[in-house]
Structure 1
Amino acid sequence: MEIATFETKCHCGYTFDLPELSDMSYGEFLYFDSSGNGARYLCAINNQTWEYISTIIDSELKDTSLTKGIIIRNTLGEIADKININTTYVQKGVCPKCNSFVNSNTEIKKGIMEVEEMSFKQFQKYTDSEKRRIVTEFIKL
């Protein structure tokens, strides 16, 4: 997926291009590797993994009206296929130099970046009971 990038400056002084979705991106999300090594794109609309986690949350939690979407997004960041096994995906930009969270400056557009779609191949290999156990661990945190 091609996504516009914007100049971003971290508090450490490092300047880099950070992809940013438009305000019109309903049901679309960007995740960033917590070590600053890359971004992944997720479209939640008709996404089987999103819907699977949603079903588990509905059966495990009583009142999810205010937090369900956040719980799903956080869980997806944990179970997604990783660039680096020792990291996770977060929904905040991460400086590739110092690994601090950053906010993009959407005033200075720099270009276009190809961002790979987030995948869940490893998660899909598990049995249903293993998937439920994994997701339940994350939603109980």
Structure 2
Amino acid sequence: MPGEPTDPAADGTFTEAQTQDSRAAYAGKAGQALGFARAQIGRPCVQGASGPGSYDCSGLTLAAWRTAGVVLPRTAREQAGHGTEVPLTALEPGDLVFFHADAGHVGLYAGNGTIVHAPGPGATVREESVFFAGAQAIHSARRPA
């Protein structure tokens, strides 16, 4: 009826308080995911592994976000189609950053221009510059929750 409050999800508008609540909820989940990922630093990278002793890139992001109650698809390419696309200029800790033309590699944005990722077989999980493979290697970013 006219004059009655509307459901923000129904008309697409949100109050400032609802936007802040949403950001706070994301930050909380992202903090859990990032804390988990950082705790894996130094573990071996093994293709197809999703923990707990070793990880591949998407296995690490899947396991990290699972600790925050968010279910992600298994592969980096599938994860690249999950969640909300984020401009690279608006990255927040916890966002997934994808690399290479095929989005075949993923890392968890940690803030300050760094990601936590499992670089590849024979390496270990590490935190390093988002530009580890050069700026041209960055494909896209997604916010999973």
TM-score by length of 2: 0.22
TM-score by length of 1: 0.23
